[in-house]
Amino acid sequence: MAMAVPGTNGVLGQGAEEQKGETARLASFVGAMAIADLVKTTLGPKGMDKILQSMGRTNDIMVTNDGATILKSLYVDNPAAKVLVDISRVQDDEVGDGTTSVVVLAGELLREAEQLVLQKIHPMTIIAGYRQACEAAKERLELLALNHSSNEDTFRQDLLNIAKTTLSSKILTQDKEHFARLAVDAVLRLKGSSNLESIHIIKKTGGTLKESFLDEGFILDKRIGVGQPKRIENAKILVANTAMDTDKIKIYGARVRVDSMAKVADIEKAEKEKMRAKVENIISQGLNCFVNRQLIYNFPEEIFADAGVMAIEHADFDGIERLALVTGGEIASTFDSPDKLKLGSCKLIEEIMIGEDKLIHFSGWRWGRPAPLSSEEPAERSLHDALCVLQQTVQDSRVIYGGGYPEMQMAKVVEEKAARTPGKKSLAIEAYARALRAIPGTICDNAGLDSAELISQLRAAHAEDDTRMGVDVVLGKAGDMADLGIYECFRVKEQIILSATEASEMILRVDDIIKCAPWQRQEE
């Protein structure tokens, strides 16, 4: 057994530290399990919330049970803990949900591995056993998957069930029926596209969550210029990112000297004429709506109004990117080559009222991009998770039952494999099965149920071949997942198994932690 020592035989620089052997491994286990225990209580539909308080001047407070949000907000010093935070971020980027589950499973795998290491089983033996167990679990998961993509109505019902299951553990659980329908309709309108940027979520105060709706068109949170048309049919839209202030001599350090105020007036007139020519050049492109990323000053706005062109200024960059995408146009910066400009189009642009604010509504194009609306930051995050999971399900239409059902099935198969495996690897495979069962056990614990009793009931139920039993946290007993409509996305569950196994392998391989010496300011 070794200890943390400053430097090693003079090889490392002064101030560097090294942890070796069992000390390094123990530090890795402790850090990773601490992170897993932190988010463990948030797992499942009855998971607890965490209060995240900023230490800045504002002292902002956020109440959430979203694993990705919690881990993203943490500052961790332990390198193994950072591995789990990174795995959670990868899970969020890849499939959009399951961030808490992947960290909890990785933590349980490391907890089991720690006990095996204390029994003098080599980490490489444990890793070999975990790999075999992971393969067996993945094969079983693929056999459990259901695919109803050939039946449109059944597949839509699967999507609704998945959305409701995903939202059950989020802040939107009270309105999950409503938001599940919104999310499914939004994703299906993408017609198989994987670009969720086409779905724009707008948050507005002044209403309830149930008043959220899915709109057919695109909504831009801006105002139409003064004296310009508030409604345009068969719109030709030019989306631009160009300076529309009075053109000045924009060369740093340039200075113009004049000998009279009349010359100043001449310069101002020349600037105005230059801007007039620019605006008239834009209008000559045949458009009737001009959307600009930058400000539009009074003079060009007046010219647009006289020409009957709707001018919208200071649209945020994400807004014009998305607007160009859905209208079929391209963002322009110069207007001297009309053949290179690509105008967008839609059937109708009008000003609408949502809550207490006026917004601009674009509708009627062949792409049919949706724009659901929500009203709170955590609500947007919850809805985004549901949209990500649904988009993954549309791409890979396989679904599985939820509520701990797949974990119990995989644990059963992994235990059978352990019984057929000779040597110490069988102990690691058995440990993998116990870690899998910890997921439904944690769901029970977080719901205030007797996890030992319920897991025993589920083990007995899963001894039968044709069972669909999982944890029913509402009634506090084992229930049929098909009857309860608890479904999960196959891709999410598969990614959880693979990522958690990979993270535990990575941490198990560690036998040396070297902390570099802090940078020292050089005295002059």
Catalytic site positions: 66, 99-100, 385
> Which residue in 494, 477, 386 sits closest to 161, CA to CA?
386
> Which residue in 428, 442, 433 sits closest to 412, CA to CA?
433
| Locus of tokens 């965490």 | 50
Other beta carbons within 10 angstroms of residue 124's beta carbon come to 11
Report how far residue 212's alpha carbon sits from residue 196's, in angstroms, rounded to the nearest whole number.
Answer: 18
Other beta carbons within 10 angstroms of residue 424's beta carbon come to 16
Report how far residue 228's alpha carbon sits from residue 3's, in angstroms, rounded to the nearest whole number.
Answer: 75
**21-40 helix and 79-94 helix, angle to the nearest 10 degrees:** 50
Residue 494's alpha-carbon distances to 410, 483, 489, in angstroms, are: 11, 23, 9
What tokens appear for 319 in the block? 């807004």
> Which residue in 24, 374, 399 sits closest to 212, CA to CA?
374
What tokens appear for 193 in the block? 């596209």
Other beta carbons within 10 angstroms of residue 30's beta carbon come to 14
**Please, are residues 186 and 195 in contact by the beta-carbon 8 Å criterion?**
no
Strand order in the sheet with 344-354: 218-220, 357-363, 344-354, 231-240, 289-292, 310-312
H-run or E-run covering 237: strand 231-240
End-to-end Cα separation, the chain, in angstroms: 43
What tokens appear for 53 in the block? 């308080």
Residues 6+ apart with CB under 8 A from 372: 182, 183, 186, 199, 200, 201, 212, 213, 214, 215, 383
